[in-house]
Amino acid sequence: MSPYPESAYQEFAPAAPLARFLICTWTQQIGEGERDYPQRVLPDGCTDVVWTEETPPLVVGPATRTFVASVPPRSTLIGVRFRPGLAPVLLGAPARLMRDRQVPLVDLWGALANRLFEQVAERRTTRDRVRQFETALLDRLDHAGPADTHPDDVVIAAVAWMAGHPNGRISALSRAMGISSRQLHRRFHDAVGYSPKTLQRILRFQRLLDLARNKPAPRLDLAALALEAGYADQAHMSRDVRELSACTPTSVLANPASTLAMADFFKTAHAEPPIIPFD
């Protein structure tokens, strides 16, 4: 019998007023066990805000590499996942300041963060806590002025372009957006947290995982999968996978469902997320 607890993770459609900002809200419940649950998180271009039981909420910034979060047994986590480029609108800070970091939300929102999330802690059920979590974000919207809640439309359009052009050139993206490469680079760092090239690598990686999840593991043709995902060849794919996941393509792609749950932007880039309403 494994000493590690089991994990139950589920995503939900966000409240309608938050849908333009969020991919989803989510919960994770950790069962009984002798050790902490090792939650492996892969880069996905997103920023999450995570609340764990009585612990003040943390902003988990956009990652450039995989990391493992140790979650104690019998824990319940509640989180929201921002769409790439939209976290700064609600969080009130450039994404570049949160890259590869975990930042207490109180550092960004001040006392408002404590007041709002004390109300989350007062709710007795996970369902009510999720709803109160969303209410806290809506209250943040109410406290912000119209200018503060306007996203960088150029970056949002560029992210959508990248999702559909996994091997497109950044120079072509710059021309399509009508701005210089230098401007695009600066605006990406503020809105997304890193350069267009880095996000392109991450979205291509997510495309690879999404493709692998829909193919039987014993039949995976890595060379064909690499080309379908937008890599130049299998060697290109192998380098990127190792750098982003710290694992070989074989080990990551053998069980992609175990990694997609916490890093799943690509499949929602052009369609409504396949997640359920929280009724």
- Measure the CA–CA gap between 245 and 205, rounded to whole angstroms: 9
CATH code of domain 153-277: 1.10.10.60
Parse the chain into domains and list their residue ranges. Answer: 7-149, 153-277
Can you read off the two tokens belonging to residue 203? 């979205």
The DSSP H or E segment spanning 13 is strand 7-13
Please give the pLDDT value at position 253: 85
- List the chain pLDDT tens, one digit each, 279 residues: 678 899 999 999 999 989 989 999 999 999 998 899 998 899 999 999 998 876 789 999 999 999 998 889 999 999 999 999 999 999 999 999 999 999 999 999 888 888 878 888 888 888 898 999 899 888 888 776 554 557 899 999 999 999 888 889 999 999 999 999 999 999 999 999 999 999 999 999 999 998 888 876 667 889 999 999 999 999 999 999 999 999 889 888 877 665 534 334 444 443 333 333 333
- Taking the C-alpha atoms of residue 188 and residue 194, their distance in angstroms, rounded to an integer, is 6
CA angle 261–106–50, rounded 5-degree value? 10
Report the Cα 191 to chain-centroid distance in Å: 14
What is d(CA 226, CA 207) in angstroms, rounded to the nearest whole number? Answer: 10
CB atoms within 10 A of CB 218: 6
- DSSP-derived 3-state class of residue 279: coil
E strands in the chain: 7-13, 22-30, 37-41, 48-52, 55-60, 67-71, 76-82, 102-104, 276-277
What is residue 153's DSSP assignment?
A: H
Estimate to the nearest angstrom the gap between the alpha carbon of 115 and the chain centroid. 25
C-alpha to C-alpha distance for 246 and 235, rounded to whole angstroms: 15
The pTM for the full model equals: 0.86
Q: Residue 176: beta bridge partners?
A: none
